[in-house]
């Protein structure tokens, strides 16, 4: 891993970029924009930016979106495009732009189901079927423009789900955006997710979590890279055995802790049967890493003043970059 090739996602700054609406008197105005994100990348010696194109540019403003991407690339900044909404007409409009700008993939997600709690989504399986059909409709255009859609394990789809999804569509046109930390929300450990999907991964989100006991399961709590349960050294070494290189992005966790209700019977009823060995491996991982207490609460959840939350997000990035630089030296 070369730190100067790693991108930085604006999602790392849920508060500072204004994704969280804070109407308190002590609120801080958003301070992270696409321009300041680029400044942070240069300051820390990183190599690229990742951002949701459809949050910053309307469907009728794609010419300006392409111009902004071109400027970043001309300035030596690698660009990763996310699409926050899975909108087939928008994707069809964006694919020619990606192709012209030599961007070979875009990250997409199926839903905003968090914590793997499918039992709370009565139409979850219908949502999966509709998503697969939409992906199939895009395959000819994806092949034409030689662009892949990388579906993220966005705490809704696990390794087995994504493998089935790709089998039902096209491995040539559809791949996986692996968010390492998110693996835990859908009955995978980072190790089992990688073991199952390594050759299908086209982009990696470097995310760490701490795990805390919750009333019906566990919380996934935001932390800087290297301060949680993810063994980045062994995982990235294993990934390198399948890929000569793979794009990577720092994407730190949300200010809202994600809760997975794995001790709730209904949670398991919403999944296909898991073997005893799979359950043992997953719960052994939890038992090794689970903590007790209230430390799962983020600065936002503790209702710190806005400026303190902004400072904490920037500090998390500082510590994460320091960790990755140390890791790169150790692997060098």
CATH number of 3-331: 3.20.20.150
Strands 209-214 and 217-222: antiparallel
Mean pLDDT of 114-130: 90
Residue partners of 64: CB distance under 8 A and separation at least 6: 57
The single residue listed with the structure tokens 């794995």 is 262
**pTM summary value:** 0.96
Residue from 52, 49, 104, 57 nearest 83 by CA: 52
Residue from 200, 198, 176, 180 nearest 188 by CA: 180
State residue 305's pLDDT score: 98
The token duo for 279 is 């359950």
Residue from 9, 19, 1 nearest 310 by CA: 19
State residue 249's pLDDT score: 98
C-alpha separations of 229 from 207, 260, 327 in Å: 10, 16, 15
State residue 331's pLDDT score: 57
Mean pLDDT of 99-105: 98
State residue 73's pLDDT score: 97
State residue 330's pLDDT score: 53
CB 236 within 8 A of CB 192: no
State residue 112's pLDDT score: 80
State residue 155's pLDDT score: 87
Q: Where are the domains of the chain?
A: 3-331
pLDDT at residue 175 is higher than 70: yes
Span 236-269, pLDDT tens digits: 999 999 888 999 999 999 999 999 999 998 998 8
Helix (H) or strand (E) holding 48: strand 48-52
Q: CA-to-CA distance for 140 and 189, rounded, in angstroms?
A: 34
Span 148-161, pLDDT tens digits: 999 999 989 999 99
- Where does the pLDDT of residue 301 fall: very low under 50, low under 70, confident under 90, or very high at 90 and above? very high
Q: CA-to-CA distance for 57 and 33, rounded, in angstroms?
A: 13
């Amino acid at each position: 891993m070369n730190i100067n090739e790693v991108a930085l996602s604006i999602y790392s700054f849920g508060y500072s970029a204004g994704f969280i609406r804070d109407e308190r008197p002590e609120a801080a105005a958003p301070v992270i924009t696409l321009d300041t994100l680029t400044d942070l990348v240069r300051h820390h010696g990183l190599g690229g930016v990742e951002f949701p194109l459809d949050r910053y540019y309307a469907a009728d403003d794609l010419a300006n979106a392409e111009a902004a991407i071109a400027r970043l690339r001309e300035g030596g900044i690698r660009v990763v495009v996310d699409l926050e909404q899975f909108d087939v007409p928008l994707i069809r409009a964006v694919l020619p732009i990606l192709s012209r700008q030599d961007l070979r993939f875009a990250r997409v997600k199926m839903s905003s189901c968090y914590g793997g709690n499918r039992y709370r989504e009565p139409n979850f399986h219908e949502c999966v079927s509709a998503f697969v059909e939409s992906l199939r409709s895009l395959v000819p255009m994806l092949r034409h423009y030689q662009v892949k859609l990388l579906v993220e394990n966005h705490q809704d789809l696990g390794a087995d789900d994504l493998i089935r999804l790709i089998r039902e569509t096209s491995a040539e046109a559809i791949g996986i955006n692996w968010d390492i930390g998110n693996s835990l929300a859908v009955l995978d450990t980072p190790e089992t997710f990688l073991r199952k999907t390594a050759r299908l991964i086209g982009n990696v989100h470097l995310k760490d979590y701490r795990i805390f006991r919750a009333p019906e399961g566990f919380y996934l709590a935001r932390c800087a890279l290297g301060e949680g349960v993810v063994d980045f050294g062994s995982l990235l070494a294993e990934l390198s055995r399948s890929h000569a290189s793979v794009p990577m992005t720092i994407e730190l966790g949300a200010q809202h802790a994600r809760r997975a209700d794995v001790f709730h019977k209904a949670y398991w009823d919403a999944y296909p049967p898991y073997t005893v060995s799979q359950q043992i491996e997953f719960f052994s991982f939890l038992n090794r890493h689970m903590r007790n207490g209230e430390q799962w609460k983020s600065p936002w959840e503790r209702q710190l003043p806005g400026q303190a939350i902004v400072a904490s997000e920037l500090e998390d990035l500082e510590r994460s970059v320091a960790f990755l630089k140390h890791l790169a030296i150790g692997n060098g």
